[in-house]
Structure 1
Amino acid sequence: MKQSLLTAGGDEKGSKNGGVHIRKVADRSIKWPLKHHEKCAYGARFSLDEQYIVTCGSNNKVNVYHIRHNLDIAQPTGFEYLGADVPTRTVRCIAIHKQYLAIGGLGETKIGEKMEPTGEIRIMDLSKNEPAKSAVRINFGAGELTSIAFDHEGKFLAAVSDNEVGAWQLNWLSGNHQLFTRKKEDKKPTALCFDPKSSAVFLATEETPVSKIDFEPSDPNTSYTMSAFPPARLESIGGQSFAKALALSPDGSRLAAACNDGCVRIFDAMDGSFLLALRQSSKPLTAIAFSHDGRSLATGCVDGKVRIWETVD
């Protein structure tokens, strides 16, 4: 997807439709429009192998596109629409690793005679004929999942729900994905991302520093240890600030935090030291991503604008 940017928009009130577009980085013009999500599109992702695009939105649908041609020469028919209703109450977040798709939201579980809401993850293999029907379901927490991520190698999956963080060791052959750590947070988690060079996850909450959790096996078959990340508090600008989205540079050296005060804060991912702040808007930022080569940083904002920065080594 050289020189291409995937954007998602809209709002909950429906004053803007939930459009998803592939744009040219050079001039921000629309390259291909994708199927809309009625009021609001919550997220859009390329798979790292560039075989799939997945999107989710407020209509509680997940749209999947199989890219059959190089985007630079493809016609719109280069996308195969595989979208379908997902049997959950809500769909809030998505993650993709190769052909494996994870969907996070709010589902239902029968407790006694009643159906009670529960955080829900569904993991499916997009290479199958009817992936939704063979999806593996995982319940986690009592509230809606707000963020979900695979590690770079597809060995782990992490998710946040209310004030809980969970991580699973994945077994693609058996489909038996084992929860191996579950951690309560004092404040509501707001964002997470995996280090692309390891199995460590970075976590942000509403009032605490960004933390780093390492899943390093002391025994490769059974146990994992967790280590603390040196404090990297997000200094406020005109009030309490916290990260709403996180991204790691491809080389794992820089952690970028998109914050509720409209700033991007950059940290050294190795020791947590603060590097610089980029003032982008007076409105909260909601999304952030590095390009695959690490040379560009893109942010999404509630003002409907996508901003792109050129990074410097």
Structure 2
Amino acid sequence: MDTSSGGVTEIARLDYAVNALGYSATLGRLVGLTSKGHHWWKNPSHVVLIDTKGVVNDLGPVDAYWFRTDDVSAGAVVGTTFYVRDNARLHAIDIDPASPSYLKIVRTVVLDWPALTLDDFTANPANGKLTGVSAAGWGPGEVVTFDPVSGRGLSRTEVAELPGKSTYGAVVIDSAGTVYATNNGYQGRSRTYRVSGNAVELSEGPEMGMIDAAGCLPNPMPPRIEPPAPRPEVPPPPPPAPVTPPAQAPAPAPVPVVPPPPVVATTPPSLPPQPVPVRAARQRTEPRKDLPLEAETTPLTKSRKWAMVTIVLVMLGAGAAAARARG
């Protein structure tokens, strides 16, 4: 439905319910969940895209066999992550067609009080935080902001002009941070408020059993984006064959080492007797003969002889004189 003109204009009538609507600026479409026409026992929750003409593209089931849309009551998109509230839990679904975790629940956190009571929330374009309106208490409604990554509450502001005891099933926020909230019914009427410090009622209409909001869509819409083709079921690759190491050639047998034959002492062959040389007989010794001296004929030799004779004569004379003296 289009409420931009102040009234309600029907754009298209779907044959099944779509819940947890959010707007993806990346895909240029509304994003929601539906289980109509799908088997409840096998991935019944499908993610769908909706354009301003009401044309629906089914992206496929959420890749979590246990996930159901029965208790889903709020949704919003931040980037390419689709956040949905399932009772007290917040699931993060990857809707990036190029991501390996496409359509998988990549994170689940538990919400703080009173975020877990929100029937709708919207993403703040300035910081990516989620904001909704809670009327679970006895007093007036509260504007609640929380962190989608951790589920922790960041702020809660009570607004006197927001009726309590009423479900706010449609909440959007603009670039200036102004919140627009519509309750399902209060005193028999459904009312829309602008909240910026205080709350101002903008319009009213018939009381509604279930409503949802998904932000302000651009005009005109971006070109249509075809969802990727369903991924075929590819059987897992067979385990790699065990690698057999190449057979090793047998090692050559070692060459036996033959020890040398033992050395045996042997007696050399006997030689024929050699003749013993005969020694020559000794000759009989003869007396030594004095060789005749050659007569000296030099004058010096003669003088020496006379000197020797003189000495002998002197000695003989001396000996004779001594003998006479003793007699």
TM-score normalised by length of structure 2: 0.45
From the CA coordinates, give the structure whose radius of gyration is larger.
2
Identify the structure with the greater strand proportion. 1
TM-score normalized by the length of structure 1: 0.47
Higher relative contact order (CA 8 A, sep 6+): 2
